[in-house]
C-alpha cells in the first residue's frame, strides 16, 4: 500500500511514504493561501495522485484538506476516479462529518461517472444522430416493430405507424398488464398470428417491446451501445413526442413499468401459488403471514411466525383464497352495477392522481436545488480554468507540471459537471412531462373499468388457471392494500376502492 499522510494533528506537512523503501520524506509544507491555483501544496497533492504515488491518503480532518467547498468537490471526484481512499484521523471525524447536504448532492453526481466514460466514447457518432432525432427524423437502421419507414427528400426519413403491427403491440402490452409473462405472451402471439411468424417471437423480443419508449410516440436512439459497446445507455436520445406515432398511452406505459419493477424486486410475485401472499396480515401482531407448501396431496397453509408459538395460527390456503377472492369479485360486480359506487371509485382515483402530482412537484423542487448547485459548481470550475489559462503567459507551463495536471483535472471535472447538468435537465423535462399527464375524465374512466372487467372475463374463460392466477395477483395489486385476518378468522379487506 502506498500511503500519503496529510496534515496530521497540527502539522501542515504532508508526508509521502513509500513502503518499499520504508522511508518517510516530506514533500511540501505550505498551506498558507486559500486560493486554489496558488495553493502549491494542493496542486502537488493532485499531481502525486494522478501519478499514482499513493492509494490511501491520511488526513487529520476535512478542513485541513481544504476549507473550500469547490476544492473539496474536485478532490472527491478525483479520488473517486483514481480509486484513492481518504482516511480522516481526528477522533470522530469521518466522511459524514462534512456538510451532509454537500455529501448527498455529490453522491448523486458520482453515480454518473460511468456514464461520463460512455459519453466521451460515443460523443462523435452521437452528435450527428442527435441532430436527426431532435428534428424527429429516424437516425437509420430498421424501424422498431410497429412502424415503417417513410422516406422523404434528402434522406429525411421519418417513422409511420403500421396499423397491423401496432395492433399486435397493443395486444402485447395488454396481455402483460393482465399478468401474462413474456414467455406466455410469445406463445399466444405465435399461435394467434401464424402469418406473422417471420418475427420469431421470443421472450426477449416481447421484453424489448414492453420496454421500448418508441411506442409512446418518441424516436429513441442509443438504447443499446451496439455490438461494440453492449452496455445499455441509461439516457438515450429522444425526440419530442410525435402524437400521431403514439401506439401506447402514458397510462398503460406507467402501469407496465410498475409491474416490471415489482417483478424485478420480487421475481415470484406473479407466479407464486399463494394468491394472497404479501397481502395477508396477522390481526393480532400486524406481521405479514408466511406461506408453506406441505408437499403433494397435503394442504398449503398461511401462518403467522411470530414468537408466540410458530404454528399457533395456521390457515388453510385454498379455503381462505376462495373466500376472499369471491368477496372481492362480489364487491367489484357491485361497484360496476351502481352509479354511486362508480363515483367512489373515481374519487379514489382522483385522490391518487393528486398525490402523484404532489410527489412530482416535490421531486421537481429537489431536482431544481441540485441543478442550481451544479450550475454554481460549473461556474466556479470555469472561473478556475479561465484563471489558470490566463496565467499561461507569465508561467512556463512546461516547467510547472502541477499546474498542467491541475488544469487537466479541472477540465475533466468540468465535463463531468456538464454531463450531470444534462442529466438533471432531462430529469426535469421528464418530470414536467409527467406533471402534464391529464386526469382521465369520468367517462373515459368508466370505459377503462369496463374494458378491464371484460378482459378478466375473457381470460378466466379462455386461458388456463395459471394465467388466471397471475391476473388475480395483478388485480389484488391494483385494488387491495392489505387483508387483515384474526385468529378467529375474522377478515377485513383494506382497499382504496371499497370498504
Q: Please state the closest distance from residue 287 (CB atom) to Zn ion, in A.
A: 5
In this complex, which beta carbon is closest to Zn ion, that of residue 385 or of residue 484?
484
For 164, the grid coordinates are 397491423
Burial class of residue 173, CB neighbours in 10 A (0-12, 13-18, 19+): buried
In this complex, which beta carbon is closest to Zn ion, that of residue 8 or of residue 484?
484
Only segment of 83-91, 302-310, 341-349, 427-435 that touches Zn ion (CB under 5 A): 302-310
Tell me how far apart the alpha carbons of residues 13 and 6 are, in angstroms, rounded to a whole number.
6
Query: Applying CB under 5 A, which of residues 97, 162, 306, 415 lies at the interface with Zn ion?
Result: 306
In this complex, which beta carbon is closest to Zn ion, that of residue 282 or of residue 463?
282
Based on the shown chain and the rule CB under 5 A, indicate whether residue 486 belongs to the binding site for Zn ion: no
Based on the shown chain and the rule CB under 5 A, indicate whether residue 180 belongs to the binding site for Zn ion: no
Only segment of 184-192, 218-226, 301-309, 405-413 that touches Zn ion (CB under 5 A): 301-309
Q: Please state the closest distance from residue 486 (CB atom) to Zn ion, in A.
A: 9
Tell me how far apart the alpha carbons of residues 54 and 14 are, in angstroms, rounded to a whole number.
12
Q: Please state the closest distance from residue 282 (CB atom) to Zn ion, in A.
A: 3
**What are the residues whose beta carbons fall under 8 Å from the beta carbon of 390, sequence distance 6 or more?**
none
Q: Please state the closest distance from residue 327 (CB atom) to Zn ion, in A.
A: 22
In this complex, which beta carbon is closest to Zn ion, that of residue 192 or of residue 310?
310
Based on the shown chain and the rule CB under 5 A, indicate whether residue 285 belongs to the binding site for Zn ion: yes
Query: Applying CB under 5 A, which of residues 75, 304, 374, 480 lies at the interface with Zn ion?
Result: 304
In this complex, which beta carbon is closest to Zn ion, that of residue 423 or of residue 485?
485
Based on the shown chain and the rule CB under 5 A, indicate whether residue 284 belongs to the binding site for Zn ion: yes
Please, are residues 267 and 277 in contact by the beta-carbon 8 Å criterion? no
Query: Applying CB under 5 A, which of residues 282, 301, 335, 463 lies at the interface with Zn ion?
Result: 282
In this complex, which beta carbon is closest to Zn ion, that of residue 162 or of residue 306?
306
Please, are residues 210 and 181 in contact by the beta-carbon 8 Å criterion? no
Q: Looking at 37-178, list the stretches that DSSP marks H as alpha helix, in order from N- to C-terminal side.
A: 40-51, 62-65, 69-81, 100-110, 113-134, 163-177
Compute the radius of gyration of the chain from its Cα atoms: 30
Based on the shown chain and the rule CB under 5 A, indicate whether residue 485 belongs to the binding site for Zn ion: no
Per-position x/- string for 116-155, each x denoting binding to Zn ion as judged by CB under 5 A, each - no binding: ----------------------------------------
Binders of Zn ion among residues 28 to 57 (CB under 5 A) are none
Tell me how far apart the alpha carbons of residues 275 and 475 are, in angstroms, rounded to a whole number.
11
In this complex, which beta carbon is closest to Zn ion, that of residue 45 or of residue 282?
282
The separation between CA 75 and the C-alpha centre of its own chain, rounded to angstroms, equals 27
The DSSP letter of residue 224 is B
In this complex, which beta carbon is closest to Zn ion, that of residue 125 or of residue 285?
285
Tell me how far apart the alpha carbons of residues 57 and 112 are, in angstroms, rounded to a whole number.
24
In this complex, which beta carbon is closest to Zn ion, that of residue 207 or of residue 290?
290
Tell me how far apart the alpha carbons of residues 131 and 137 are, in angstroms, rounded to a whole number.
9
Only segment of 56-64, 123-131, 204-212, 277-285 that touches Zn ion (CB under 5 A): 277-285
C-beta atoms surrounding 355 within 10 Å: 10
Only segment of 44-52, 147-155, 281-289, 326-334 that touches Zn ion (CB under 5 A): 281-289
Long-range interactions of 87-91: CB distance < 8 A, separation 24+: 87/56, 87/57, 87/58, 87/59, 88/59, 88/60, 88/61, 88/62, 89/8, 89/9, 89/58, 89/59, 89/60, 89/61, 90/60, 90/61
Only segment of 71-79, 177-185, 303-311, 483-491 that touches Zn ion (CB under 5 A): 303-311
Q: Which residues make up the interface to Zn ion (CB under 5 A)?
A: 282, 284-285, 304, 306
Amino acid at each position: 500500500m502506498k500511503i500519503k499522510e496529510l496534515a496530521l494533528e497540527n502539522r501542515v506537512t504532508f508526508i509521502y511514504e513509500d513502503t518499499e523503501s520504508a522511508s518517510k520524506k516530506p514533500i511540501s509544507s505550505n498551506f498558507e493561501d486559500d486560493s486554489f491555483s496558488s495553493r502549491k501544496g494542493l496542486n502537488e497533492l493532485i499531481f502525486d495522485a494522478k501519478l499514482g504515488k499513493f492509494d490511501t491518503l491520511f488526513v487529520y480532518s476535512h478542513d485541513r484538506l481544504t476549507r473550500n467547498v469547490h476544492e473539496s468537490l474536485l478532490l472527491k471526484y478525483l479520488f473517486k476516479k483514481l480509486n484513492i481512499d481518504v482516511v480522516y484521523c481526528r477522533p470522530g471525524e469521518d466522511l459524514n462529518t462534512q456538510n451532509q447536504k454537500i455529501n448527498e448532492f455529490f453522491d448523486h453526481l458520482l453515480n454518473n461517472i460511468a456514464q461520463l466514460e460512455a459519453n466521451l466514447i460515443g460523443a462523435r457518432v452521437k452528435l450527428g444522430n442527435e441532430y436527426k432525432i431532435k428534428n424527429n427524423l429516424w437516425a437509420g437502421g430498421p424501424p422498431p416493430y410497429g412502424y415503417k419507414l417513410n422516406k422523404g427528400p434528402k434522406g429525411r426519413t421519418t417513422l409511420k405507424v403500421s396499423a397491423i403491427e401496432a395492433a399486435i403491440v397493443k395486444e402485447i402490452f395488454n396481455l402483460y398488464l393482465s399478468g401474462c409473462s413474456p414467455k406466455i405472451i410469445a406463445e399466444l402471439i405465435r399461435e394467434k398470428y401464424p402469418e406473422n411468424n417471420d418475427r420469431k417471437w421470443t421472450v426477449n423480443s416481447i421484453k424489448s417491446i414492453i420496454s421500448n419508449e418508441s411506442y409512446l410516440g418518441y424516436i429513441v436512439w442509443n438504447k443499446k451501445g451496439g455490438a461494440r459497446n453492449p452496455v445499455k445507455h441509461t439516457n438515450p436520445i429522444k425526440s419530442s413526442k410525435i402524437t400521431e406515432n403514439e401506439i401506447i398511452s402514458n397510462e398503460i406505459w406507467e402501469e407496465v413499468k410498475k409491474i416490471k419493477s415489482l417483478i424485478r424486486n420480487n421475481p415470484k410475485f406473479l407466479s407464486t401459488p399463494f394468491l394472497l401472499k404479501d397481502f395477508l396480515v396477522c390481526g393480532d401482531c400486524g406481521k405479514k403471514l408466511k406461506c408453506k407448501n406441505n408437499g403433494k396431496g397435503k394442504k398449503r397453509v398461511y401462518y403467522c411466525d411470530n414468537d408466540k408459538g410458530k404454528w399457533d395460527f395456521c390457515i388453510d390456503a385454498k379455503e381462505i383464497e376462495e373466500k376472499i377472492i369471491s368477496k372481492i369479485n362480489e364487491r367489484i360486480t357491485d361497484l360496476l352495477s351502481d352509479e354511486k359506487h362508480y363515483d367512489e371509485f373515481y374519487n379514489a382515483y382522483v385522490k391518487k392522481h393528486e398525490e402523484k402530482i404532489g410527489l412530482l412537484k416535490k421531486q421537481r423542487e429537489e431536482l431544481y436545488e441540485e441543478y442550481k448547485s451544479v450550475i454554481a459548481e460549473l461556474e466556479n470550475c470555469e472561473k478556475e480554468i479561465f484563471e489558470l489559462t490566463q496565467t499561461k503567459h507569465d508561467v512556463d507551463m512546461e516547467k510547472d507540471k502541477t499546474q498542467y495536471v491541475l488544469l487537466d483535472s479541472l477540465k475533466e471535472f468540468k465535463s463531468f459537471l456538464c454531463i450531470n447538468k444534462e442529466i438533471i435537465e432531462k430529469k426535469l423535462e421528464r418530470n414536467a412531462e409527467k406533471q402534464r399527464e391529464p386526469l382521465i375524465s369520468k367517462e373515459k374512466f368508466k370505459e377503462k373499468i369496463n374494458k378491464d372487467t371484460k378482459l378478466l372475463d375473457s381470460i378466466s374463460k379462455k386461458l388456463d388457471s395459471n394465467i388466471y392466477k397471475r391476473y388475480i395477483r395483478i388485480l389484488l395489486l391494483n385494488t387491495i392494500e392489505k387483508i387483515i385476518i384474526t385468529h378467529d378468522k375474522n377478515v377485513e379487506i383494506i382497499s382504496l376502492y371499497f370498504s
